[in-house]
Amino acid sequence: MATTTATVGVLAPPSLARPSRSLWSNAWWKLRRDKLTIGAFIILLVLGALSLAAPLFSDYVFHYRFEQQDLLHTYEKPTFENPAYLLGSDEIGRSQVVRLLYGGRISLTVGFVAALVNLTVGVSLGLSAGYFRGPLDDAITWVITTLNGIPQLYLLLIIAALWQPGPLTLIVIIGLLNWTGISLFVRGQTFALREREFVTAARTIGAKDRRIMFRHILPNVLPLIFVLAAIDIGAIILLESALSFLGLGILPPTPTWGNLLTNAVSYFVRAWWLVVSPGVLIFLTVLCLYLIGDGLRDALDPRLKTH
Amino acid sequence: MRDFIIRRLVYAVPTLIGISIITFAIARLSPGDPIRLFTFGIKDFTQEDYLRLLHAYGLDKPMPLQYVDWVTNIFRGSFGESLIYHRDAFVMLMERLPNTLQLALVALLIQLIIGVPLGVLAALKRGSWVDGAIRIFGVAGHAVPAFWLGLILIILFAVNLRWLPSIGMLTVGHDQWDIADRIKHMILPAFVLALTGIANYSRILRTETLDVLAQDFVRTAHSKGLRERTVVYVHALRNALIPVVTALGGILAALVGGALVIEQVFSWPGVGQFTFQAAIAKDYPIVQAGVMFTSTLLVLSYLLRDLTYAIVDPRIKVG
């Protein structure tokens, strides 16, 4: 690396020369200048922190529990006078803002946990298929094309309708269905990487398959997996909200952004604000995740042309 | 070319087998007994009757044999009778197909008409606020929960402004061929269904146009002294439009899958809504027919995409 720096130093004016950086520090250097991505990241962190601290907010700020009812104050319009009704109240006088905070916990957890399952399945299957090829690859590819052949939402809705899974099962099901995109990507990358010289070199000095896969190939795929993960979490949050909205996801009384919407639909002529706020939160969260995905892609992929 | 088509068709077979296994397993292994549902409420229904029916429908055979029976019947053109309507499931599904196709095709058209120009515009005005706005829209369009947008539009245009009808396909009592009425009913659902695709196309076309504009033949065209407009519309755009075809597979998948939720929100009597309602009611034959049919449609549309792609881009190796 020292020689490269030296050459650059000679060729370029001193002001343009910068020390060589690793992929990660280079990415961080680029990312810090990307205001949109940083902004999205901050908003997401704030949303996450607010949801995480939901019990604190309900106890100390709003003085209102999420299941607390007040039949004298139903369909309250959003108001600053009573903090609990900052975003209005529903048909039995529950505080919309407190319920949204609690709902965020579920919606975000579902997104992150299911995405983790997705990543585990997708990366391990994609890596094996791309590395070992042959019959194993054929089998995995078959599973992928099959799963891709069924419209995702159809499959999920029908499983949910016929089997009526609980929240935990639902997370696992989403996790086990949604990994095909990640897997295809990792498979393609592994296909190309396993032919590279450094892999041959590793094999020559006697490295085992597992070592080559996890120490030599995976680190090269990893950066873009983070990009896919950010987008994946967003997609799952959308999916869960659609499921909950259709009455098949996580069921009341546990509030989620999706089922808050389902509930609001029944009363939207009287209280339209109940429809607006959960949707805005879903939109904002997913938008931030997608922006972060885009920003990470720009920062992490050195080959990418910067338009 | 013929070999290419035949090979692709052969590839689709194991996929369809996989889909049929999943479809069968989800419906048949799910909790709930179809015979009990089928005969619910019938008086004097004895255990003996139950066993006889079980035998008559072949439900006492081992699962793999039942699967073979089911597939054989599909090839005979039958998915069985609906447990609720007591009519042929596939025929009922086909009655709803035109409604879904109508919605999907209009949405596809909207996507192309709005999405493609947006992407090209963004590329031509690169770096300007127009570009910025279109780029943000390109991400935001994916992030909006479609069903929620549908609701908001219903509240706005149907409930408050009363410009458009909120649900259904036709005004009750109107003539079926009242085109104006039909279009009015279609505007909101078609637009909501189209949104993801509009965002998708605007993103793809932007990247692609920028790529093409940076290529040598565009510089040559410029240096020949051709007008900017000719360079963009004749030379560049033609090449930039190739991914419109490639993206079609994913977009069709999004249309078919997305249609289910949109149909549900707008009470649009299509295949998705029908299948979904059947799943809620545990009407297995319809669920199986619905999933199998839409999946086949999807696999075929992937196939079609690959074929058109091979035709549009001669660099793809055929054979």
Q: What is the ipTM of this complex?
A: 0.83
Beta-strand ranges (E) seen in chain B are none
CA distance A244 to A72: 28
The dihedral through the CA atoms of A127, A128, A131, A135 has a sign that is negative
CA distance A86 to B4: 62
- B250 → chain A, closest CA residue: A148
The dihedral through the CA atoms of A237, A238, A241, A243 has a sign that is negative
Model pLDDT for residues A163-193, shown as the tens digit of each residue:
777 778 888 888 888 898 899 999 988 988 8
Distances (CA, A) of B206 to B89, B135, B157, B181, B203: 44, 9, 32, 36, 5
> Stretch B166-193: mean pLDDT, rounded?
75
SS3 string, A125-166, reads: HHHHHHHHCHHHHHHHHHHHHHHHHCCHHHHHHHHHHHHCCC
Query: pLDDT-derived band of residue B172, with 50, 70 and 90 as boundaries?
Result: low
Q: Structural domain boundaries of chain B?
A: 2-75, 90-312
Superfamily of segment(s) B90-312:
MetI-like (1.10.3720.10)
- Counts of helices then strands in chain B (DSSP H, E): 16, 0
Output the pLDDT for position A6.
46
- B32 → chain A, closest CA residue: A162
Q: Which DSSP category does A216 fall into?
A: I
Q: Look up the pTM and report it.
A: 0.84
**What does the mean pLDDT of chain B come to?**
82
Model pLDDT for residues A19-37, shown as the tens digit of each residue:
666 777 777 777 777 778 8
Using alpha carbons, select from A159, A179, A170 the residue that is nearest to residue B23. Answer: A159
Measure CA B171 to chain center: 25
**What does the mean pLDDT of chain A come to?**
80
A116 phi-psi bin (left φ>0, alpha ψ -120 to 50, beta other)? alpha
Distances (CA, A) of B110 to B113, B195, B198, B199, B268: 5, 9, 8, 11, 18
Backbone angles phi, psi at B61, to 5 degrees: -75, 165
Chain A hits for B152, CB-CB cut-off 8 Å, are: 275-276, 279
Output the pLDDT for position A307.
40
Chain B hits for A155, CB-CB cut-off 8 Å, are: 22, 26, 291
CB pairs under 8 A between A and B: 141
Residue B136 CB: number of other CB atoms within 10 A?
13
Counting Cα atoms < 13 Å in the Cβ hemisphere of A226 gives 16
B272 in A contact zone (CB under 8 Å) = yes
Residue A36 is encoded by which pair of tokens?
Answer: 């949109």
Poorest-pLDDT segment among B70-74, B109-113, B165-169, B200-204: B165-169
B44 phi-psi bin (left φ>0, alpha ψ -120 to 50, beta other)? left
Chain B hits for A278, CB-CB cut-off 8 Å, are: 148
Using alpha carbons, select from A246, A270, A271 the residue that is nearest to residue A256. Answer: A246
CA distance B25 to B66: 11
Residue A7, pLDDT > 50, answer no
> Stretch B29-40: mean pLDDT, rounded?
72
Residue A180 is encoded by which pair of tokens?
Answer: 């095909």
Model pLDDT for residues A211-251, shown as the tens digit of each residue:
888 888 888 888 888 888 999 999 999 888 888 888 787 77
Residue A191 is encoded by which pair of tokens?
Answer: 């296909």
DSSP secondary structure string, B55-107?
Answer: HHTTTTS-HHHHHHHHHHHHHTT---B-TTT-SBHHHHHHHHHHHHHHHHHHH
How far A44 CA lies from chain B's nearest CA (Å)? 14
The CA radius of gyration of chain B, in Å to the nearest whole number, is 24
Output the pLDDT for position A2.
44
How far A161 CA lies from chain B's nearest CA (Å)? 5
Yes or no: say if A107 and A241 are a contact pair by the CB < 8 Å rule. Answer: yes
Output the pLDDT for position B317.
56
Residue A8, pLDDT > 70, answer no
Yes or no: say if B194 and B110 are a contact pair by the CB < 8 Å rule. Answer: yes
Beta-carbon separation of B295 and A307 below 8 A: no
Measure CA A228 to chain center: 8
